[in-house]
Amino acid sequence: MKQLTPDYRIWLADLKLHIRSVQIKAALAVNSTLIEFYWELGKVIAEKENVWGSKLIEQVSKDLKTEFPEMQGLSSSNLKYCKRFYTFYLSSIGQQPVDQLAKQTIEITAPHIGTEFAQLFVDQIPWGHNILIFTKSTDAKEARYYIQQTIENSWSRDVLASQIKSNLYERSGKAISNFLKVLPNPMSDLAQQTLKDPYVFDFMTMAQPYKERDIENQLIKHITKFLLELGKGFAFLGQQYHLSIAENDYFIDLLFYHTRLKCYVVIELKNTKFIPEYAGKLNFYLSAVDSLVKQTNDNPTIGILLCRDKNNIEAEFALRDINKPMGISEFEITEHLPENLRSSLPTIEEIENELKGNHL
């Protein structure tokens, strides 16, 4: 072949993108077929158990594995998951209108499954993810939230398990803010859903006493996990970000840019209980960033104040007459005992021996 031309390289890049797209579609098609099969399997097992009793799963698992020895997913434990998969969503769908479970429908090729199943997005994520979600969620609304977040953020199963364990569904969008008052729709809704309360920094372990700068340093040290907790769209720009105002130096704890909101985000950390004065300081920083950093095509800068504790009524009063968009949340970290104190505490074995001695 003659010397490679730029046109060939462009054509080759497009071809590679097309092949990757086909691979993804093929993988999704295979996964969708598998999930549909498990749904149908769960359905017939749930129906026939009423006729043949609770021993049906063990018997049918044994018979199917004999007939299809190379086929995966026919163990009694997986068949129980199939039944639970079906009954979980069936009962939840029956409790509320289907159109409240999803804002859009992902079409499924098998029409016999029905629109209720299609609207749950379950065929768009792997079976292992599905098991985590329907076994840990209280209803289909919570399950759909985790399914959508998994799809949007491409979560691995371990990340999904961590998010469920931290109760992300209950924390999402719960921060005190003034977004609905000062931001236009739909930005106000998206900004509110971006916030959590509390933020859980369980990837950090720190011993008292520590200062706010210590927390900042730990967050930056674990920046990947920090960004995961913040959520999709946050791009880190700097720690102790310098601003010069009226010949004075000011330093923002953490500065981000949010790619979906198209705005800068100022995060201030306070290792204390919230007091109203903190909102005034954050308001000052937002004005400074809007004037000195923000570009004309950026949306208004948003502030997030993270405190160790807060009174919601005080927080709402503090934001009532502030026109800059900001939210107030608590944050949690994992604290551990200092080594010198930890070594003086009794071990589990010592406690057990003491208890045994008391019972002699």
Predicted confidence (pLDDT) per residue in 2-60, tens digit: 556 667 676 667 777 777 777 766 777 788 888 888 998 998 899 888 888 888 899 98
Bridge partners, residue 299, by sequence: 263
Asked if the model's pLDDT at residue 353 lies above 60, the reply is no
| The pLDDT value given to residue 120 | 64
Asked if the model's pLDDT at residue 308 lies above 70, the reply is yes
Determine if the peptide bond prior to 111 is cis (ω within 30°). no
CA distance 84 to 76: 12
Confidence band of 355 (pLDDT split at 50, 70, 90): low
| The pLDDT value given to residue 14 | 75
Query: Which ranges of 53-75 would DSSP assign to H, the alpha helix?
Result: 56-67
How would you classify the pairing of strands 326-335 and 299-309?
parallel
Average pLDDT value for residue range 134-153: 92
Asked if the model's pLDDT at residue 198 lies above 70, the reply is yes
Question: What's the whole-number average pLDDT of the chain?
Answer: 83
Task: Report pLDDT digits (tens) over 227-264.
Answer: 999 998 999 999 999 999 999 999 999 999 999 999 99
CA distance 92 to 80: 18
If one compares 5 and 206, the residue with the highest pLDDT of the two is 206
Which of 53, 51, 47, 46 minimizes the C-alpha distance to 80? 46
Task: Report pLDDT digits (tens) over 54-93.
Answer: 888 999 899 988 888 888 899 999 999 999 999 998 866 5
Asked if the model's pLDDT at residue 359 lies above 60, the reply is no
| The pLDDT value given to residue 102 | 36
| The pLDDT value given to residue 109 | 31
Is 171:198 a contact under the CB 8 Å cutoff? yes
Asked if the model's pLDDT at residue 299 lies above 50, the reply is yes
Average pLDDT value for residue range 140-146: 91
| The pLDDT value given to residue 54 | 82
Confidence band of 345 (pLDDT split at 50, 70, 90): very low
| The pLDDT value given to residue 52 | 84
Range among 28-32, 110-114, 296-300 with highest mean pLDDT value: 296-300
| The pLDDT value given to residue 16 | 74
If one compares 267 and 117, the residue with the highest pLDDT of the two is 267
Which of 271, 274, 262 minimizes the C-alpha distance to 233? 262
Kind and range of the H or E element at 199? strand 199-206
| The pLDDT value given to residue 259 | 93
Domains (range + CATH), the chain? 6-165 (no CATH), 171-340 (3.40.1350.10)
Is 305:278 a contact under the CB 8 Å cutoff? yes
Work out the percent of the chain whose per-residue pLDDT is above 70. Answer: 81
| The pLDDT value given to residue 20 | 73
| The pLDDT value given to residue 93 | 57
Query: What's the predicted TM-score (pTM) here?
Result: 0.75
Least confident of 112-121, 250-259, 282-291: 112-121
If one compares 306 and 24, the residue with the highest pLDDT of the two is 306
Contacts (Cβ under 8 Å, ≥6 apart) of 238: 252, 254, 255
CA distance 24 to 17: 11
| The pLDDT value given to residue 199 | 95
